[in-house]
Amino acid sequence: MQKPDIIKAGHIELLVTDLGRAKEFYVDALGFVATESTKRRLYLRGLEERYHHSLVLTESDRPGVGHISFKVKDTEDLKLIEELVKKRKGYSDWVDGKESGVGRTLLTRDRFGFPVEFYASMEGANWMLQKYDKYRGAKIMRIDHFNIMLPDVAAAYEWYVKDLGFTCTEVTETEGKNPAMWAAWLRRKHTCHDIALTTGKGPRVHHAGFTVGDRLSIMDCADLLASAGYLDMMERGPGRHGVSNAFFLYLRDPDGNRIELYTGDYLSSDPDWIPIRWKLNDPQRQTFWGAPTPVSWFNEAMNVRSPKTGKFESLSDPEIVDRPDYLLHAK
């Protein structure tokens, strides 16, 4: 079957309980650029992005994720995806016009329970890349990737690689004689990833990653957040990842939603790329400098709202119970 031509991770909809408070965090502190605001929604983009939004904040009674979203090449690709989703027993709906700035829109609930949107076009917006006098906060450049947590990574890997045409750049395997795939990093655009799959209770979205220009933008952002009263929002980092080689800082927004500031992975344009392999207990896998990841990073993630029912998805535990050993002793 023909594969759809997916271009890149496009945007994410985060649910927030107080839009004003969320604006203070994302716009005033982090420096996202506001493209449009409505009573219940704020559409944001990065300095490098020439499209309407890469982050939508929607006021809701509960935090979490409304949908993650991929841009495809053209509308034919949307139809291909609709067929694939149906074939794999997912749900899909055409929801054109519900989200500002987006063209024809296919909103799906894939069979793993994730709300995933696809679209081929989005309204343009001013390029801020060379408006250096408007740079603020973390100097967010663009959305980079989604990291999702689910019980069956191997099945989701099949869906994304075989059906949707993603390329695998890195994997984490369990220890022992018969290693299982514990996590996978998959890309369409030429970076380390557009989506990462991690074993855990799900369906949940672990975080969305946003690219910043360099390591000092992340250092400066940590200083800024620590000065601006957001000390508790810094969950992990700054540090260097083993996987992806990127420099990172994980933040929780005032509702507990998690985003990553991310910079410094590699170009991965080659179709014959051989995936980098990591073992689950390698101390340099998550943080190249060896610092342990906080327990909250493994236990907490964002719940997702079903496009089909409008309710939050219930969670299932993974069959693979392996976790890094040090967590046994961590608080």
Q: Which backbone phi and psi does 11 adopt, to 5 degrees?
A: -165, 170
Instruction: Report the site for a second copy in 79-118 (rule: CB under 8 A).
Output: none
Smaller CB distance to a second copy: residue 109 or 236?
236
- Residues 11-50, one symbol each (x = binds a second copy by CB under 8 A, - = not), give ------------------x------------------x-x
191 binding a second copy? (CB under 8 A): yes
Structural tokens at position 73: 């090449």
- Closest approach, Cβ 53 to a second copy, in A, equals 14
267 binding a second copy? (CB under 8 A): yes
Please give the Cα distance from 174 to 157 (Å, whole number): 16
21, 83, 87, 124: which one contacts a second copy (CB under 8 A)? 124
DSSP class of residue 159? I
269 binding a second copy? (CB under 8 A): yes
327 binding a second copy? (CB under 8 A): no
In the sheet that holds 105-109, the strands lie side by side as 33-37, 41-45, 55-59, 6-16, 64-72, 115-119, 105-109, 91-94
- Closest approach, Cβ 85 to a second copy, in A, equals 23
73 binding a second copy? (CB under 8 A): yes
DSSP class of residue 292? P
7 binding a second copy? (CB under 8 A): yes
Smaller CB distance to a second copy: residue 29 or 65?
29
Structural tokens at position 255: 């509702």
Please give the Cα distance from 271 to 313 (Å, whole number): 35
Q: For residue 203, say if its preceding peptide bond is cis, omega within 30 degrees of 0.
A: yes
Smaller CB distance to a second copy: residue 135 or 312?
135
326 binding a second copy? (CB under 8 A): no
1, 274, 321, 328: which one contacts a second copy (CB under 8 A)? 274
**How many Cα atoms occupy the beta-carbon half-sphere of 33 within 13 Å?**
26
Please give the Cα distance from 183 to 210 (Å, whole number): 20
Question: What's the residue count for the chain?
Answer: 331
Smaller CB distance to a second copy: residue 111 or 215?
215
CB 108 within 8 A of CB 90: yes
61 binding a second copy? (CB under 8 A): no
Question: 22: which residues sit within 8 A by CB, 6+ positions away?
Answer: 14, 16, 42, 57, 253, 254, 255
- Residues 222-241, one symbol each (x = binds a second copy by CB under 8 A, - = not), give xxxxxxx--xx-x---x-x-
Smaller CB distance to a second copy: residue 7 or 34?
7
Helix (H) or strand (E) holding 319: none
Please give the Cα distance from 99 to 266 (Å, whole number): 32
Q: Which backbone phi and psi does 225 adopt, to 5 degrees?
A: -65, -40
Smaller CB distance to a second copy: residue 91 or 297?
297
Q: Which segment (35-43, 81-89, 126-134, 160-168) binds a second copy by CB under 8 A?
A: 126-134
Burial class (CB in 10 A: 0-12, 13-18, 19+), 230: buried
Smaller CB distance to a second copy: residue 150 or 218?
218
Instruction: Report the site for a second copy in 127-146 (rule: CB under 8 A).
Output: 127, 129-135, 141-142
Binding site for a second copy (CB under 8 A): 7-8, 29, 48, 50-51, 71, 73-74, 121, 124, 127, 129-135, 141-142, 188-191, 211, 213-216, 219-220, 222-228, 231-232, 234, 238, 240, 242, 245, 247, 264, 266-267, 269-274, 276, 283-284, 288-290, 329, 331
